Chain A
Amino acid sequence: MKLIPKDDFQEELVIRPLHSGDIYASFQFRTLWDTDFMRENKVSHYRLFPKSLGQVISKFSVRELHISFTQGYWRTMQWGQPFIPSPPGAELWVWFQDSVTDVDATWKELTNVLSGIFCASLNFIDSTNTVQPSASFKPLGIGNVTDHSFLRYATLPREIVCTENLTPWKKLLPCGSKAGLAVLLKSEKLFHSSFHSQAVHIRSVCQDWQCKTTSWELRQTVNSVFDLHNSGQAKREWSLFKMFSRTLTEACPLASSSKLYIDITDNPQGEQFELSPATSLLSQAVVLGDRRTFSVYDLTQETTFGSVRSLNLLIRWKSNEGEMLRPLLHAERYVAGYGLQTGEIHTLMYNNHPYRSFPVLLLDSVPWYLRLYIHTLSVTSKGKDNKPSYIHYEPSKDRVKPHLLEMLIQLPPNSVTEVTVQFERALLKWTEYPPDPNHGFYVGSSVISSLVPSTVAMDTNSTRERPLFSSFFPCKEESSYFVRIYTEPLLVNLPTPDFSMPYNVICLTCTVVAVGYGSLYNLLTRSFQIEEPNPGLAKRIANVIRKMRGVPPL
């Protein structure tokens, strides 16, 4: 009898009503497997863990893999902080094991394989948009060694997310999209939202609080924000059926836990919104520096579904009041300047804490065709110069690698920090332009990693019983929590040549040559003779009569 290591699957959905009337829904599906992909005997019996990802991990000696596909931009000021942040487009960052000898070649092969698995154009990731961050993107899983030469980060801001990416993503789940929470993932509703992000995160985690053994964790997450006005309703009322066009009928039979959390922290007495069917299960969790209260629906219990055997949650808003907790850190980025030669990139970081300052690590990866003038780099807070305590800059090389700028900046309390750098636009070779060059060229989002002071004590125990949304980022100290923010991507116009110019030039030149040379040739080579004009009819008849008479003609 063959023995396979234990595996476990959990699923959860967190619904958080936002103050603007929108709804933030966050799905997380986690598979834990106590196997070892790195040993010599190949793993051959896959049960809950998808085989395609398991083979990727063992073939490319992956220590950690994070890939996300996002449509839309997360608006921190209106929606707060997301549970799992992601930049617009596609983002991929991978930590390889120490045993990998040629990281770049392995990275190239890995991106090609992933482009086949997720039906995305990840094969466009090459050395011109890959960077090796020197201090950001520390591993989120188990790891004592952090040699950054095994880390690669790349982003494709232009990448589109659509049903063709959701389809293979759903097929990685143990229950597929047939049972459990994944039945709610219908593409027509998910892509008609203000923000949609789907991600896959693979890492090693501790098996228990002693952390003597590790297991592999695969998290598949979907974060969506549904717009009130998009759904065409004037009433502020949400139900699972309206959001997802489905209701829940059962939990995934392979799941050990299947839960639905509704965030009711702003609604302790039910004065903001009303939740039906009511539930008595409550749970508290500390997430993103705040203690939140949740109503819990346990889908593994038969009683949750009631007599109709389906759960259609209804949230009816009663009042518009209520202050949203202002996020302590948020950032903006824009391009300033005019014309097609130069420009300036401005990144603004807001620290909204009244009296605490905290450090942020800013990572900027700018493509080579925007030539940054690093001597114009300036970091100012409250009008005064703010010297970063750590700067790492890797200059770009034309057509080989992009700029990499990493800075550790201390943000003073209640202030705006502005980072500006000037750039010049390069003229590309005419074959390097995409088929629609007048759309512009994208510059990937900046990544801001920070330890933000927390209002309540964070939970540093890494136990498995915590809900999934609160255990994504590991927590080492109680007074602060780790957060990662992405700014907007930039769309920059490069000087674009007129692609019809060769055709026009050929036409014009050929015309000029034909007309000019032809006329000149005729003038030079033809001889001229004077020709009598044809006499009129009357004269011709008169000449004929004269010829007959023998008289000389007129």
Chain B
Amino acid sequence: MLALLMLNILAYMTPNPDKTQIIIHLLSVISQNSAGQFFSSGHTNNWAVLVCTSRFWFNYRHVANTLSVYRSVKRLGIPDSHIVLMLADDMACNHRNPKPATVFSHKNMELNVYGDDVEVDYRGYEVTVENFLRVLTGRLPPSTPRSKRLLSDDRSNILIYLTGHGGNGFLKFQDSEEISNVELADAFEQMWQKRRYNELLFIIDTCQGASMYERFYSPNIMALASSQVGEDSLSHQPDLAIGVHLMDRYTFYMLEFLEDIHPASKTNMNDLFKVCPKSQCVSTPGHRTDLFLRDPGSVLITDFFGSVRKVELTMDAINLTDPIKQMEENPVNGEEQKEVYSYADQLPVSEIIHQKPKQKDWHPPDGFILGLWTLILLVFFKTYGIKHLKHIF
């Protein structure tokens, strides 16, 4: 019955010009109970900031990590306008890539996580600590385009994913600078004070990743890391045709876990904490939930990885406006004397040559040198007397 009604889709986020996958929930199957639950979660929109911080071909796996999370997040409903993707180097069209325009996550080239529809917001040299912190805190120059901004509000759930090379308390950006855990914690506190997030999920896949979330002190942050302090995160498997390791272990098993999630699934965070135990990952993944207000068991995966669309039913009929017609060609009026346009001359040789006036060498005015020497002699003789004249002549 409800299928006959018109669904009026009310998006709480501004519509973007790109194609958006709108998940239309047929509320006919949702009973009154789950309708209440549907509208009771605190957030109204989802954002994702996915950062790969490593440069050079042998760090292929970090780009593949980030792209696999990007792929999952897009598949579960977050549109490109709400994803800030930062890749520090280009692996897909790298000249060393035997299959251009592809980035694989599984060996034997099973899964191309780069795909055909990808929008990278920050790439190459733009991925710096400064740009990352500016994106998080929103302090960007006024001419920055919308696709490069994190326009979140106090009802946004944000997923932040970092991968690269790291150590105890820092993460290396592009082999030339680092971000420390204190800076990151302060950036999140700025975000909290400016009410830029409702809840934040922070995932990091680097060596000694747990050190990066030790210093957080803002509320509503949940953090996951691929290894504890003192442990290295290891990579998964190399591909002999491409010649490098394709993925890191933690993100590989996380991708496998996320492939089973669909937009309406009810899996919660406790399942995500169990991803990649020590037997598979060799390192011990860690997590931190003390700053988070809700119980992790009640937090759905799709609260962070998926996207919320609120749907309102209406029973009214809506009148569409008249179709827009194209103007007919105006007949050319004989009386109107419009000026005739013409194309510019592409290489007007004579005009170019005469563009610059011919440079004449500058000579001082006539007689100037003569007068100057006379003046000098006069002054000399005035000062020292006429008796020196005989030395000259």
Contacts and interface: CB of A to CB of B under 8 A. Distances in A.
Query: Is B truly associated with A?
Result: yes
A108 B143 contact: yes
Interface string A1-29: 11111110000000000000000000000
A162 interface: yes
B119 A359 contact: no
B35 to A, nearest CB: 36
Interface in A205-239: 206, 210-214
A462 B332 CA distance: 18
B352 A162 contact: no
A113 B144 CA distance: 7
Interface residues of B, number: 57
A506 to B, nearest CB: 17
B117 A212 contact: no
Contacts of A158: 124
A534 interface: no
A120 B125 CA distance: 11
B110 to A, nearest CB: 15
Contacts of A210: 332, 340
Interface string B79-92: 00000000000101
Nearest to A208: B332
A121 to B, nearest CB: 5
Interface string B139-176: 00101111110000000000000000000000000111
A451 interface: yes
Contacts of B348: 138
B101 A162 contact: yes
Given A144-B342, A191-B100, A112 B93 contact: no
B93 A135 contact: no
Given A3-B327, A392-B356, A435-B175, A123 B344 contact: no
A160 interface: yes
Contacts of B119: 119, 164, 167-168
Interface residues of A, number: 75
Nearest to B116: A187
Interface in A176-190: 176, 186-188, 190
A134 B355 contact: yes
A347 interface: no
Contacts of B18: 171
A273 B200 CA distance: 62
Given A164-B118, A192-B101, A124 B125 contact: yes
B353 A389 contact: yes
Interface in B233-291: none
B143 A164 contact: no
Contacts of A128: none
A449 interface: yes
A163 B67 CA distance: 13
A408 B352 CA distance: 8
B353 A211 contact: no
A474 interface: yes
B102 interface: yes
Interface stretch (B43-51, B203-211, B223-231, B318-326): B318-326
Interface in B334-358: 338-349, 352-353, 355-356
B90 A4 contact: no
A461 to B, nearest CB: 12
A434 interface: yes
A156 B132 CA distance: 23
Most chain A beta carbons < 10 A, residue from B325, B340, B341: B341
B96 interface: no
Given A6-B326, A188-B100, 6 more contacts: A3-B324, A52-B17, A141-B343, A191-B93, A210-B340, A482-B347
Closest 5 CB pairs of A and B: A116-B145, A474-B343, A162-B93, A112-B143, A191-B101
Interface of A: 1-7, 34, 45, 47, 51-52, 71, 108-109, 112-113, 115-117, 119-121, 123-124, 134-135, 138-144, 146, 158, 160-164, 167-168, 171, 176, 186-188, 190-192, 206, 210-214, 359, 361, 389-390, 392, 408, 434-436, 449-451, 462, 473-474, 476, 482, 499
